[in-house]
Structure 1
Amino acid sequence: MGIRIFILLIFISLPSLAQKVKWASQIISVSSEYKDPLLGKEYRALHALGRPSKFPKMAASPSAWQSMTPDSPDGEYLLVGFDTTMAVKQVAIFENSGAGSIISVDGLDQNNKIYPLRAFSPGYALSSSQITYIRLPSKTSFKLKGIKISFNSLRVKGYSQIDAIGISDSDEPIENSLKLNSDANAFQARENLGNAINSKFNEICPVVSPDGQKLYFTRWKHPDNLGANKNQDIWVSNWQPDRTWSKATLYPAPINNDENNAVCGITPNGKTLLLNNVYGKDGTMEKGVSFSFLLRTGEWSFPKALKILNFKNKSEFSEYTLAPNGKLLLMTTETKDTYGGKDIYVSFLNADDSWSEPKNVGPVVNTGEAESTPFIAPDGVTMYFSSSGHVGYGNNDIFLSRRLDDTWQNWSVPENLGPIVNTPQWDGYFSVSAKGDYAYFSSTENSIGAEDIYRIKIPEKARPLTLIQLTGQVINQKTKEPMAARIVIKAKGNPSDTLSIDYDPYVGDYSFMWPAKKAFTVQIKKAGYFSKVEHFDFTSEKNFLQVNRNFFLQTVEKNKAYALANISFDQGKADLKPGFEAELEKVIAILSDNDQYTLLLEGHTDNQGDWNDNLKLSLERVENVKAYLVSKGVNANRIETKGWGGSRPLANNFIEETRKNNRRVEFTIKTVE
């Protein structure tokens, strides 16, 4: 399906209005709801909650409440509640189809007292799909807690549907809060990527790598594709120094085979591809998703299927997207528990390399309609997806939603990306790089042949969070050679927000991306070496930034004394000075990673003052260091302490500039006997 794009980019946002519009947030009671054992939660009463799904082009939809039977002689009712009580001036009922069956609407106050708001005579509906308003001459004398809508379903032949129920404290029409308004500061033109990428055949499903350096897409029925049927194959293009894309090349086997192939995502370091389908050794394909890893030879491994626990999918299709940490998968699938059609689910990587049972990301994103083509941006927060179940232009539109916490079940209200991206036709697939400057998509509008790949510059409101990319090597300080190591990145103030990388110099530099708004630490760990911890703060950065940083590790030599570089003391004092923690983290890491090591702490002073007082002071200094290490989990039995007073100076004691270097604590790594 093509994505039609207009010349001007208009980002959609909901206006900030003085009126308070509240949407029904809970079902208190309902007479009946439509159920079908072959469906999920389509047509259930829960779809009458929240904002409307079919607006402004209202039509019958599974994302609306529908009674169990179309024409019930006993009548039907729907009682909904609101999360905020308020005096109201108007009520808006979005009747998706079969409008005209409402007989009365009553208000419910905080004490569950019922107040009649309006009775409806037969024939009140002007069309089969409409917004039915109740406008009161003044605000209600009570604070409204709920709305009860009663129906005579015999008035209108066939099913009637309720999509949403809104209340407001003003005269301004509630529908105004849903209007799709243009942003005058977001004008941009689309750009066809030209003959290097596009041909007279179909180019679809673009995925840009997080660093923006590679563009993967699928070509269908191209004569250079593999196999007799020339099914979908993966092609790739590289971003060149002259700021153009290179001529696309066919990806080699085993990534491509005679069946349908597509890239779903790629990790920030470019070394792991997420591929649609499960690859059989005999060339056959099954439903699912696979990983392929870049080998030291420069070739790609045979795709390995991801084991997703209790994965089920009633739909013929499914799409996948990988979070930048490589430990989380978003997917579309259809089960008996979906809100309607395909929903977006989340799965987490387990310690045994399996993936957890998928969880629905919730009704803020998922609707009674089918959601599809999710793409999680490199910031790990911003998700783009396609749906026809939110306020839009007609068929499936592309929306943006941002993750609100680490459960991946709480999301911001989806925002329509506007008419440059969305059309009255089906629109899907939206891929952005870490820079967040351009989006890539397919379109038939003014294409070279069939569907082509285009890009547009993204307005600031629709961009992912600003990212920092760190790249470089871990280097042996003595030999100056790169070496394998473990890299652990942690958000300051939130230790559970972590990213781990096993760096292997044989496959290139390490690379990771991190949201600029989060200050973080990077710890480099390797058995037999001092851990290195560095602190980074890019919270003032507004644009994507690439930082090259090499980390040098020092070998731990047993039975050799080391001065703690950042553990110094004021004259005559034993208190640890601010900034000591980073240095002691190295010691803690060594003892944590090497059970066979013990630690000797030796305290020193300068030569100022009484000899006996200095001896006591040196012991106090090492005891303070020991106490801190024990408080962080180091067994006290692994730490031996000695104090030498001023008997072992490291530097000249004649002047303060050098004398201060003698006020120190040294540590020696020893092997357990």
Structure 2
Amino acid sequence: MLKSILLFSLICLTLLTSKAQSVQWASKVMSFSSEYSDPLLGKEYRAIHILGRPSKYPKFSATPSAWQSLTPDNPGGEFIIVSFDTAKVVKQVAIFENFGAGSITRVDALDENNKLYLLKEFNAGYAQANGQITRIRLANPTSFKVKSIKITMNSLRVSGYSQLDAVVISDGDSPIEDRIKLEVDPNAYLVKENLGTAINSKFNEICPVVSPDGKKLYFTRWKHPDNLGANKNQDIWVSNLKDKKQWEKATLFPAPINNEENNAVCGISPNGKTMLLNNVYGKDGQMEKGVSLSFLLRTGEWSFPKPIRIQNFKNKSEYSEYTLAPNGKVLLMTTEMKDSYGGKDIYVSFLKSDDTWTEPKNIGAAVNTGESESTPFIAPDGQTMYFSSSGHVGYGNNDIFLTRRLDDSWLNWSIPENVGPVVNTNQWDGYFTVSAQGDYAYFSSVENSMGAEDIYRIKIPEKVKPQTLVQVSGQVINQLSKLAIPAKILVKSRVSSDTMQIDYDPYLGDFSFMWPTKKPFYMEIRAKGFVTRRENFDFRDQAKYFESVQLLGLVPIEMNKQYKVPNLSFIQSKSEISKESYPALDEIVLILQENEGLHLLVEGHTDNQGDWDENLKLSLERANQVKSYLISKGISVNRIDTKGWGGTKPLNTSTLEEKRRLNRRVEFSFFVVQ
């Protein structure tokens, strides 16, 4: 892996000096003598894995997430040159020899002109252990700025392979490892709550998925005697939350979701009506590798799983895990492909207009390592991802980490943070999931379990919480009849490009979605035969999760009835339309696009100040400006008529400008040509 460059999380950042020393980890490989490669592997053991922070500290061991030479014993020796983001004066160098320590013969520094300076030579036998931090502490800072470090090795000094995990430089004397110390909490296990016999047994309980409303817990049991089939393969179980935050005794989930093969829930949509499932279901009961979707029917049953078709999806590993973003259009998965950094990596795929999914893209070296990453989970905020890995600094052989999406590409992520000793143990930990409320987290662990893996929950530590969410739910109704109507709801952030499309069917229940409170948004509600409605929302003053219920009424389109264009007004004596008016006009475009038989009459008005003839001309110019905008959006010129009324139809006769400006307007009405 390209180790994390800055792992903040639950790591001690306290320095021993009054002035903070500057520390840089190697960020680029400039040259090397050789690197291990295998046609059956991805990028394991490559030189790139020496970059960033170490993956096997403090427990040193062999790892594919470190640089390893092509052969174990090369008479000609080996070397590697790494550079740093910024050239700087150096007082200290540290090399993490995670395995086969003792091969280094000398370390040189290169200045900005690539001139070589010897920093230290090493005699045979300098290593005190098979894995160690090898330090160079200079009596005085270098007289030049160090841009690169060259490490020369005699691989014959140590029998077998030697691995280098990381290289770091500093302008201070404080031990560099202080920067990556893990938090120690001997009482952490007291905070972790085993969910008890209602959920756990002496068999394996893994893959917990809590519904966004926090009221249902889905999980997988393996080899349980009540599972389906003779082999008792993995089956899905479900439990409901009781009033006192306790879970009822779990029950076996019904067919067709469970069958005699391996079954697992990967995620639940924010409205609780779409279920992401591992594997592709065959009508004959057989299963293939892949992922499927099941939908909640009006009867209350779940549909037969529909496969998700991902272009050029290939997996060299036997296993994959999946998680679906809250908008339903972004799928994250673990798979092993040709460009994997090592073992399974996390990839992303996007929903296309033809209902297939794009070829998976590796989400990058900030998250993926030379080890295998597993059990990714996108929180309901659509921004925070939890995953399990042994390729970042951790407590055991597999820890849970947190990373946050930095942009809308889904390829740039923050440096992973270890979620800490409350969750992570010295054994295997994974399957971390949270509800939208952000109160509890659920995960699997073998520590102090009833038998095999059990499911635990904790109060989510503040530092690893997802963003605070609002759950918006409700109905779309006919404003006149008060009856629920089918509609399409577009939810769009007012501060980013985040969007969500909801097809609302009143027969399936209320619409429901989650949204980060820190992002103001608007809802655009469209239905055939109704005037499009747009509503703005801003919940930035809400510090905790809460629910907002909306009853959204749409006005039926009535023929020959005048409607005022909202948010469309004019400067006195001007006809130009401002960009702020475009969204309101776009709503008219949508109505005309969805109702091809409709025609539009656009009527312009002015106030009663000035010359009568000039006002008449200006009012028509305003109507024609609207007409031109609609035509530019693809509406036929033959469907739009215009009129100008000057100042003959005022809304307000006041002489005050604040009132008079309301007369400078455009109105529209729909009609059908007989």
Kept in 2, the 8 Å contact 1:491–1:519? The answer is yes
State the match for 1:259 in structure 2.
Answer: 261
Kept in 2, the 8 Å contact 1:91–1:135? The answer is yes
**Displacement of 1:258 after TM fit?**
1.3
**Displacement of 1:322 after TM fit?**
0.9
Work out the CA distance in 2 between the residues paired with 1:605 and 1:410: 52
State the match for 1:484 in structure 2.
Answer: 486
State the match for 1:4 in structure 2.
Answer: none
- The change in CA–CA distance for 1:665 and 1:134 in structure 2 (over 3 A counts) is same
Kept in 2, the 8 Å contact 1:235–1:250? The answer is yes
Kept in 1, the 8 Å contact 2:98–2:131? The answer is yes
Percent identity (aligned): 67
Stretches of structure 1 lacking an aligned partner (at least 5 in a row): 1-9
Stretches of structure 2 lacking an aligned partner (at least 5 in a row): 1-7
Kept in 2, the 8 Å contact 1:38–1:336? The answer is no
Mapping for residues 493-642 of structure 1, pairs under 5 Å: 493-494=495-496, 496-567=497-568, 583-605=584-606, 611-612=612-613, 614-623=615-624, 625-626=626-627, 638-642=639-643
- The change in CA–CA distance for 1:652 and 1:54 in structure 2 (over 3 A counts) is same
**Displacement of 1:64 after TM fit?**
0.6
- The change in CA–CA distance for 1:609 and 1:194 in structure 2 (over 3 A counts) is same
Kept in 1, the 8 Å contact 2:336–2:344? The answer is yes
State the match for 1:364 in structure 2.
Answer: 366
State the match for 2:86 in structure 1.
Answer: 84
- The change in CA–CA distance for 1:448 and 1:607 in structure 2 (over 3 A counts) is same
**Displacement of 1:534 after TM fit?**
1.1
Report the AA paired with residue 366 of structure 1: N
- The change in CA–CA distance for 1:453 and 1:583 in structure 2 (over 3 A counts) is same
- The change in CA–CA distance for 1:509 and 1:25 in structure 2 (over 3 A counts) is same
Q: Which moved more, 1:193-202 or 1:85-94?
A: 193-202
Work out the CA distance in 1 between the residues paired with 2:527 and 2:146: 63
Report the AA paired with residue 13 of structure 2: P
Tell me, yes or no, if structure 1 residue 474 matches structure 2 residue 476: yes
State the match for 1:281 in structure 2.
Answer: 283
Work out the CA distance in 2 between the residues paired with 1:320 and 1:582: 37
Q: Which moved more, 1:349-358 or 1:73-82?
A: 349-358
- The change in CA–CA distance for 1:532 and 1:14 in structure 2 (over 3 A counts) is farther
Work out the CA distance in 2 between the residues paired with 1:16 and 1:538: 36
SS state at 1:352 partner:
coil
Tell me, yes or no, if structure 1 residue 316 matches structure 2 residue 314: no
- The change in CA–CA distance for 1:592 and 1:85 in structure 2 (over 3 A counts) is farther
State the match for 2:230 in structure 1.
Answer: 228
The CA deviation string for residues 468-513 of structure 1, in whole angstroms up to 9 with x for no partner, is 221111111122111111111112144x421111111111111111
Match of 1:393 among 379, 395, 412: 395
State the match for 2:296 in structure 1.
Answer: 294
Q: Which moved more, 1:228-237 or 1:408-417?
A: 228-237
**Displacement of 1:153 after TM fit?**
0.8
State the match for 1:15 in structure 2.
Answer: 13
The CA deviation string for residues 563-619 of structure 1, in whole angstroms up to 9 with x for no partner, is 335546688886879975554343232234445444221133566776545534533
- The change in CA–CA distance for 1:658 and 1:135 in structure 2 (over 3 A counts) is closer
Q: Which moved more, 1:551-560 or 1:271-280?
A: 551-560
TM-score by length of 1: 0.92
Q: How many residues align?
A: 663
Report the AA paired with residue 263 of structure 1: V
Q: Which moved more, 1:26-35 or 1:219-228?
A: 219-228
**Displacement of 1:445 after TM fit?**
4.5
Kept in 1, the 8 Å contact 2:386–2:400? The answer is yes
Work out the CA distance in 2 between the residues paired with 1:583 and 1:146: 58
Work out the CA distance in 2 between the residues paired with 1:213 and 1:306: 27
Match of 1:95 among 86, 94, 97: 97
**Displacement of 1:108 after TM fit?**
0.8
**Displacement of 1:647 after TM fit?**
3.8
The CA deviation string for residues 275-332 of structure 1, in whole angstroms up to 9 with x for no partner, is 1111111112221111111112211111111111111112221111111111111111
Mapping for residues 27-46 of structure 1, pairs under 5 Å: 27-46=29-48
Work out the CA distance in 1 between the residues paired with 2:566 and 2:171: 65
SS state at 1:290 partner:
strand
Work out the CA distance in 1 between the residues paired with 2:433 and 2:345: 19
Match of 1:61 among 57, 60, 63: 63
Kept in 2, the 8 Å contact 1:11–1:183? The answer is no
Work out the CA distance in 2 between the residues paired with 1:544 and 1:373: 25
Work out the CA distance in 2 between the residues paired with 1:278 and 1:235: 19
**Displacement of 1:188 after TM fit?**
7.4
Kept in 2, the 8 Å contact 1:200–1:448? The answer is yes
State the match for 2:26 in structure 1.
Answer: 24
The CA deviation string for residues 184-236 of structure 1, in whole angstroms up to 9 with x for no partner, is 99997222333433345433221111221211011233333222333221111
What value does the CA root-mean-square deviation take over the aligned residues?
2.9
**Displacement of 1:656 after TM fit?**
10
The CA deviation string for residues 444-470 of structure 1, in whole angstroms up to 9 with x for no partner, is 445456543221001111001112221
**Displacement of 1:650 after TM fit?**
5.9
Mapping for residues 362-441 of structure 1, pairs under 5 Å: 362-441=364-443
SS state at 2:209 partner:
strand
Kept in 1, the 8 Å contact 2:428–2:446? The answer is no
Report the AA paired with residue 601 of structure 1: V
Report the AA paired with residue 462 of structure 2: E
TM-score by length of 2: 0.91
Match of 1:348 among 347, 350, 353: 350
Work out the CA distance in 2 between the residues paired with 1:71 and 1:35: 16
**Displacement of 1:52 after TM fit?**
0.3
Q: Which moved more, 1:132-141 or 1:638-647?
A: 638-647
- The change in CA–CA distance for 1:449 and 1:156 in structure 2 (over 3 A counts) is closer
**Displacement of 1:20 after TM fit?**
1.3
Match of 1:133 among 112, 135, 146: 135
SS state at 2:74 partner:
coil
Kept in 1, the 8 Å contact 2:522–2:536? The answer is yes
Work out the CA distance in 2 between the residues paired with 1:36 and 1:470: 51
Q: Which moved more, 1:353-362 or 1:485-494?
A: 485-494
State the match for 2:3 in structure 1.
Answer: none
